[in-house]
Structure 1
């Protein structure tokens, strides 16, 4: 057994070896620490970059759909602003206002108007007596095999008839020729009394009379 004393060659060599080993272990420890730090920093940077990339992709994805929706809405608005739909007339859709153009106007019922010649204003009797001119407007409603006729008697320059009457009329062929059957129904908006020996109900037929004011007088 040998005992190394301070300052001997063996002690110096041993001290140097110990120091070298300690320095090597210290460098290895520092290297491992740096490696761990570098790995952590790299992982952090990678995760941060991945997060930023995903966020950018999501924003771009949503913005793409918003832009597409805006483009579609703009295209539809432009198309609807100039659209024209055609039927028998023309339907134009402009600024959410629907306009009908070119549609035929409803046909009004042709109302006969007596002419001056038909009224015969210059006609006078041989006696030269004064002449009072009146005229009658007839309203005819088909009923069964005949018609119900309402007559409105007017005086000249008056808008309201001074007399109204209603009757049922039917023509039939007989051996002696054509015969017209006439049954009086009402006068001035009031149904006439029902005959006792008649099978014709005057009240039912009189519902087809056309009075001037739409009601009884």
Structure 2
């Protein structure tokens, strides 16, 4: 075995080699540490960005749902203000004329006694006057709907106290169908034509069936 003395060229070269090796390993470890820190920072930034994106998406979705709800509520309010809903309890007339039980009143005068059979059984006080009124409807087909004229009779009068004419047509609303009713004339007088109405009041009024004693 050979022992080298301190300060010899061989020892100096060996020391320099060892120092260079240690510095290289130190640089490699520092590079690895920087790489791990960079990877961790990148993952953190990516997760933070994904979380922020999800938060903004959720916020936008909530605002969109709220906006859709407001639009739906506004549409429902407008539809309910513009249409008249009718139940299924309407009387269906096969010959387009309402008939009273007991036959048609003679000479154009309603048979009040035939429709007031329970007048004596009223629970109203004896001092209260019992008033009987009824409406006769005349219906004319019109497109997919009908033109209806109503005669309002009061008591035993021989002619109606008031008459009105309106057109009714089916209208889709949500999952069902309702009736859209528009009054076009009252007591034979055509109402003013609205500016944005799709119905011609003058044409509809020609098909109204006004009360005429001579035709009864």
TM category, shorter: 0.3 to 0.5
Task: State the TM-score, normalizing by the size of structure 1.
Answer: 0.42
Query: Which one has more relative contact order, counting CA pairs under 8 Å at least 6 apart?
Result: 2
Q: Going by fraction, where is strand more abundant, 1 or 2? A: 1
